[in-house]
């Protein structure tokens, strides 16, 4: 009987020692329980002649747990709370008497219950659970944003018998971070508003010049004709009438661009797709711009890929897009340069239209600004030419509103290739062998700026 009692006492001593060390290491015992455990363990050690072992400073561990600013909570595998420090009471509002032996689920919102089960399963498999942020519920129903560090509690045989959690309330930190992010966003939005305001001011200044120039021409030539300074039979009479007509058309184009851009941005722009013959449309645009092409002795080639069937597009808007691209190419190509208009199927449902020039080209850093409203490239060459900075922006809007995309590649000193891709091919082949090359050497392939 004595040997049996002796063996039983040894087992109890061993198990109690391991349990106390684990709980102390995890800061999972309240001060009162630690003191009782210390006295009990000390008695057992003295009775077995083990008092010479280095003592465990249970008082220090209890003081750490009691003074911790983080909630320290221990629970069994079935979710019963076994330890609850003062910080836990402050954080969640439950006293130790209310919390001990209560289900830990009272702290977990319904939509987070699966989280606790998954973590226990991971711990049981020996998987380390890193600290994580989650939500917990206080006694008064408030949801707390917390950071949780969790560790397993094991018995003498290495079996997991519970878990210890260190919980930190990070609500204030998250609010501070959200406030910082909001402040950064507001600052960025404010800078965008300021930049938009600056660009619109520049645009209005530029538009005032663009509008005044043709108006002054119209008024000046009309006054000369009205006062009879130039007789109807004089050759200058027809020349002046021509200046009045071209200035009026330029003015109308400016006004139409502004109105169209406004309609597209507001979503009120309407498109009317119909079967469109692309070669005929391209020829119409070239005829409109023929005088400008001939005045600079430019060489233009037009190539439509064989097999490109009818397009189901809005012909008026496609004509407007091509006019903007080709007139832009003419404007920035020097006398005697080369232009090329090419069209081919791209895939089974899309058509790709390209306009290439041998103009001055564009620096890579300037490319992203090309399709933006109210912006013109700021260099001495472009300042010599008319333009309100709306043509390419309107082109992008018109194309994107129909589900297409625009892009450009360019090399300074060699020229540029602008392209649009639109859906609308009916019965088109996908072969690209018919794609044309201009008389001038084409640009070497390189990454292009795509928009849309």
Is 0.75 topped by the overall pTM? no
Give how far Cα 279 sits from Cα of 221, 242, 306, 435, Å: 38, 29, 11, 14
Residue 82 CB contacts under 8 Å (≥ 6 apart), including other chains: 28, 74, 75, 76, 100, 101, 162
Q: What pLDDT sits at residue 426? A: 55
Q: What pLDDT sits at residue 243? A: 84
- What's the rounded Cα separation, in Å, for the pair 291 and 287? 8
* Res. 2: pLDDT tops 60: no
Q: Report the pLDDT averaged over residues 168-197.
A: 88
* 65 alpha-carbon distance from chain centroid: 45
60 band by pLDDT with thresholds 50, 70 and 90? low
233 band by pLDDT with thresholds 50, 70 and 90? confident
The 10 Å Cβ neighbour count of residue 177 is 11
Q: Report the pLDDT averaged over residues 150-174.
A: 84
Q: What pLDDT sits at residue 138? A: 92
Q: What pLDDT sits at residue 59? A: 64
Q: pLDDT by residue (tens digit) across 337-367?
A: 999 999 998 888 889 999 999 998 888 888 8
Closest CA to 359 of 373, 388, 379, 374: 379
Both structure tokens of 223: 């006054």
* Res. 412: pLDDT tops 60: yes
* Res. 150: pLDDT tops 70: yes
Pairing of strands 350-357, 274-276: unpaired
Q: pLDDT by residue (tens digit) across 276-323?
A: 888 999 999 998 888 889 999 999 999 999 878 778 888 888 988 998
What kind and span of H or E run contains 275? strand 274-276
Contact yes or no for 451/393 (Cβ under 8 A): no
Q: Where are the domains of the chain?
A: 1-67, 69-169, 176-266, 274-451
CATH of domain 274-451: 3.30.565.10
Give backbone dihedrals phi and psi of 194, rounded to 5 degrees, phi first. Answer: -65, -40
420 band by pLDDT with thresholds 50, 70 and 90? very high
Contact yes or no for 264/270 (Cβ under 8 A): no
Q: pLDDT by residue (tens digit) across 244-257?
A: 887 888 788 778 77
Residue 138 burial (CB < 10 Å; 0-12/13-18/19+)? Answer: middle
Closest CA to 329 of 397, 259, 258, 410: 410
214-245 burial, b at 16+ Cβ within 10 Å, e below that, comes to beebbeebeeebeeeebeeeeeeeeebeebbe
- What's the rounded Cα separation, in Å, for the pair 353 and 433? 15
Both structure tokens of 229: 């300074």
> Regarding the domain delimited by 69-169, which CATH topology (the fold level of the hierarchy) does it fall under?
Beta-Lactamase (3.30.450)
Both structure tokens of 352: 């790709």
Q: Give DSSP secondary structure letters for 393-436.
A: HHHHHHHHHTT-EEEEEEETTTEEEEEEEEE-BSS-----TT--
Q: Radius of gyration (Cα) for the chain, nearest Å?
A: 40
Q: What pLDDT sits at residue 336? A: 93
CATH architecture of 176-266: Orthogonal Bundle (1.10)
Contact yes or no for 215/246 (Cβ under 8 A): no
Q: Report the pLDDT averaged over residues 376-395.
A: 59
Pairing of strands 299-304, 338-346: parallel
380 band by pLDDT with thresholds 50, 70 and 90? very low
Q: pLDDT by residue (tens digit) across 21-56?
A: 444 444 444 444 445 444 444 443 343 343 444 554
Closest CA to 386 of 211, 178, 266, 229: 211
Of 156-170, 282-296, 418-432, give the lowest mean pLDDT range.
Answer: 418-432
Q: Report the pLDDT averaged over residues 373-396.
A: 60
Both structure tokens of 241: 């009438």
Q: What pLDDT sits at residue 112? A: 87
The 10 Å Cβ neighbour count of residue 89 is 17
Indicate the SS3 state at residue 347. coil
Bridge partners (DSSP) of residue 146 are: 134, 169
- What's the rounded Cα separation, in Å, for the pair 336 and 325? 19
Closest CA to 308 of 438, 432, 436, 437: 432
Q: Give DSSP secondary structure letters for 136-166.
A: EE-TTS-EEEEEEEEEEEE-TTS-EEEEEEE
- What's the rounded Cα separation, in Å, for the pair 385 and 62? 83
Mean model confidence pLDDT for the chain: 76
């Amino acid at each position: 009987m004595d040997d049996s009692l002796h063996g039983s006492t040894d087992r109890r001593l061993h198990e109690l020692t391991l349990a106390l060390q684990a709980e102390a290491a995890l800061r999972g015992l309240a001060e009162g329980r630690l003191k009782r455990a210390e006295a009990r363990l000390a008695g057992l050690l003295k009775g077995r002649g083990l008092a010479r072992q280095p003592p465990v400073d249970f008082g220090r561990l209890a003081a750490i747990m009691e003074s911790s600013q983080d909630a320290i909570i221990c629970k069994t595998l079935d979710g019963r709370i076994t330890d609850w420090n003062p910080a836990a009471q402050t954080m969640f509002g439950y006293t130790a008497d209310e919390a001990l032996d209560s289900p830990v689920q009272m702290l977990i919102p319904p939509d987070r219950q699966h989280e606790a089960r998954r973590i226990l399963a991971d711990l049981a498999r020996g998987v380390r659970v890193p600290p994580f942020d989650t939500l917990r519920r206080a006694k008064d129903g408030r949801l707390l944003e917390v950071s949780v560090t969790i560790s397993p509690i094991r018995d003498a045989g290495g079996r997991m018998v519970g878990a210890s959690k260190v919980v930190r309330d990070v609500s204030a930190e998250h609010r501070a971070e959200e406030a910082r992010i909001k402040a950064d966003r507001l600052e960025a939005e404010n800078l965008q508003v300021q930049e938009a305001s600056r660009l619109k001011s520049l645009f209005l200044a530029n538009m005032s010049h663009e509008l005044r120039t043709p108006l002054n021409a119209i008024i000046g030539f009309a006054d000369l004709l009205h006062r009879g300074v130039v007789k109807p039979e004089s050759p200058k009479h027809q020349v002046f009438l021509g200046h009045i007509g071209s200035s009026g058309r330029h003015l109308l184009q400016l006004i139409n661009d502004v109105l169209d851009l406004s309609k597209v941005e507001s979503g009120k722009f309407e498109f009317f797709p119909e079967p469109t013959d692309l070669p005929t449309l391209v020829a119409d645009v070239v005829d409109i711009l023929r005088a400008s092409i001939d005045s600079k002795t430019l060489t233009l080639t037009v190539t439509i890929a064989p097999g490109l069937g009818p397009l189901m597009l809005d012909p008026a808007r496609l004509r407007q897009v091509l006019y903007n691209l080709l007139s832009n190419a003419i404007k920035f190509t020097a006398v005697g340069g080369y232009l090329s208009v090419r069209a081919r199927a791209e895939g089974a449902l899309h058509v790709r239209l390209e306009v290439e020039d041998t103009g001055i080209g564009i620096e890579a850093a300037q490319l992203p600004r090309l399709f933006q409203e109210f912006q013109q490239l700021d260099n001495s060459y472009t300042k010599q030419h008319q333009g309100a900075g709306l043509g390419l922006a309107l082109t992008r809007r018109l194309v994107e509103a129909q589900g297409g995309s625009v892009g450009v590649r360019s090399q300074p000193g060699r020229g540029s290739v602008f392209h649009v891709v639109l859906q609308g091919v009916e019965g088109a082949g996908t072969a690209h062998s018919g794609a044309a090359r201009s008389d001038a050497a084409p640009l070497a392939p390189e990454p292009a700026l795509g928009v849309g």
